[in-house]
Every structure is written in C-alpha cells, then in structure tokens.
Amino acid sequence: MTKIFITRDIPDAGLKMLKKHKSIKLSIYQKDKKIPRKELLTHVKGVDIILSILTDKIDAQVMDAAGPQLKMIANYAVGFNNIDIEAAKKRGIIVTNAPGPEITESVAEHAVAFIFGLAHRILETDKFNRAGKYTGWGPKLLLGTDVTGKTLGIIGTGNIGNALARRLHDGFDIKILYNDIKRSPNLEKKYGAKFRTKDQLLKESDFVSLHVPLLPGTVHLIGARELKMMKKTAFLINTSRGPVVDEAALTKALTNGEIAGAGLDVYENEPKINKTLLKLQNTILTPHTASATVETRQAMSRTAATNILAFLSNKQIPNKI
C-alpha cells in the first residue's frame, strides 16, 4: 500500500486518477487553509509520497519527519522554490512539478489583463462610477493610454513570456523587447523581438513584464535602481514570484510617480502586502490567482497525479526536477 499525503484539497481530476488504484491510500488535509507547520510534520509521518502545494515549505525537517520510506514529493505548482531540492537528492527523494500549456496560457492572459487594466484605468474608473462621481462625459475625464503600438519588455522568455509576446505582437502590433540568460532566435524570428540588456529594456519599454523563476540571482531583480531607469509613463507587471521585486522600492516609486503603475499577482512577503501599496490607485493587485482558472487547476491536478503514477509504475516521470 502506497501512502500519499496531500497537504491541501486540490481540484479532483488528479484525485480521481489516484483513487482508481486500490494500492494507493490517500489522506488529505481537510481545512481550506495553509497547513500549520506542526500539523504538516505530524501528517507526513510514515507516508511514501507527499503531494505539496507552493505554500508548503518542504525542507529536510519535513523529509526526516516523514521517514526513510519517503520516496517522492509531487509539487502542485510550476515553481519548486518551496522545496529543498538538495536535501531531497541526499535522501534519494524524487521531486516533480506541474507545468503545462494550460498554466502558460492562463498566466499570459492574466498579464495581458494587467496591461490593459492599467493602461485604461479600469479599476479606477469602476470605483469612480460606483462612488457616484460620474456626472457626465468630459474630454479629460480619467484619461488612460493606448496599448497598440507601444513597446513591451519581457524579462524571462520561457513558455509564459513567449505566450505573452505572441498575444500582444500578433493582436496589438506591440514592439517586443526581451532579456534572458540567452538569446531566443525563435522569439526574434516569429515576433521581430529585439534582445536588450536588462538596463536597456527598462529604459525603452512602456510595459515591463516579469517571467523569471525565483533563484538567488533573481531576488530583487527589480529594485530602486531599476525602477529609476523606467519611463515615468511605464507600467511594471509581475506574475512570477514576489521576491523578484523589491516591494518597498516599488511602493516608493509608485508613490513618487517614478513609474505610472504596477500590476502584481505575487508579493515579497506573501500573503502580507505593503499597506501603502494597498492604498495606491495606480495598481492592480490580485491574490496570486494568475493561474486560477478551472481548466488550469484541474490540469495541474492531472499532471501531479500523472507524475505519481509514472513513478509507481517505474515509467519515465514527465516532470522530474
């Protein structure tokens, strides 16, 4: 009997796949909240596989609490910065993540929503109406900015960065600049994208969208120095990981008008958000929901289950880290 502990209830597509196997015993943390550390350490005891979510810190302590029979950690997320990969390797524990085309499309769509929402001041105008302030059309009332024909700078050109480039280049005649650790001939050929250093990209772009993993080298990739390089009319979009942006520096830049606005789905000290940032009108702030569609979350559930079943069947594991 293979014992699997799931740290929080997830969409049922993957659960149904696992429940078909009589040799698998599932246990799920039933409360709809992040599992407390003490309870996590208790629940993992004696399990063979942990199906974790991105808010769970799965480190050496958790692995040792589970016991030597723990052989796999299946992360229900594309990122895996919540897992101590080196500790897992030392213990012979396999780690997988849950990427897929669905999450790529959902997050790219969310970034597009941020861009248009900020440019057209959608939240501000909605609040204006609901507050009863609209008394009639005016030629200078709540002016925004066009998106068509502007310049988008993409930092991190993996699947999501490419999906964003496709949408805005093909749909809105946007000029694409990009920065990554290596050039992307495919991006350049398909969308006429131009490679720039990070500094050049920040100076030239009307919208800057971040799509990098959280690594030691990407912490505070965007800080006070970088924000000062951006146009005062530019907008910053972050759907990657919170610590990629220095939140205090961003809050100051937004308050002082150093940049025009920001769309954030992730935060440096999640779930806490800078109180001043929450009060600013030139922001759109979503609660880490860029991938929160029924289709995507079910697909992630299936991917996590597929990884587990491949491991148990001694087959090639699709998303092994």
Catalytic residues: 241, 270, 288
Positive or negative, the Cα torsion across 87, 89, 94, 98?
A: positive
Q: What's the token pair of residue 139?
A: 């030629």
CA–CA separation, 135 and 110 (whole Å): 32
Q: What is the DSSP letter of 255?
A: H
CA–CA separation, 246 and 119 (whole Å): 23
Positive or negative, the Cα torsion across 62, 65, 66, 71?
A: positive
With contact defined as beta carbons under 8 Å apart, do 237 and 210 qualify? yes
Half-sphere exposure of 187 (CA within 13 A, CB side): 28
Whether a cis peptide bond, with omega within 30° of 0, leads into 271 is yes
E strand residue ranges, 69-219 = 72-76, 94-96, 151-155, 175-179, 194-195, 207-210
Instruction: Tell me the three state secondary structure of residue 18.
Output: helix
What DSSP assignment string belongs to 63-99?
HHHH-TT--EEEEESS--TTB-HHHHHHTT-EEE---
CA–CA separation, 299 and 127 (whole Å): 35
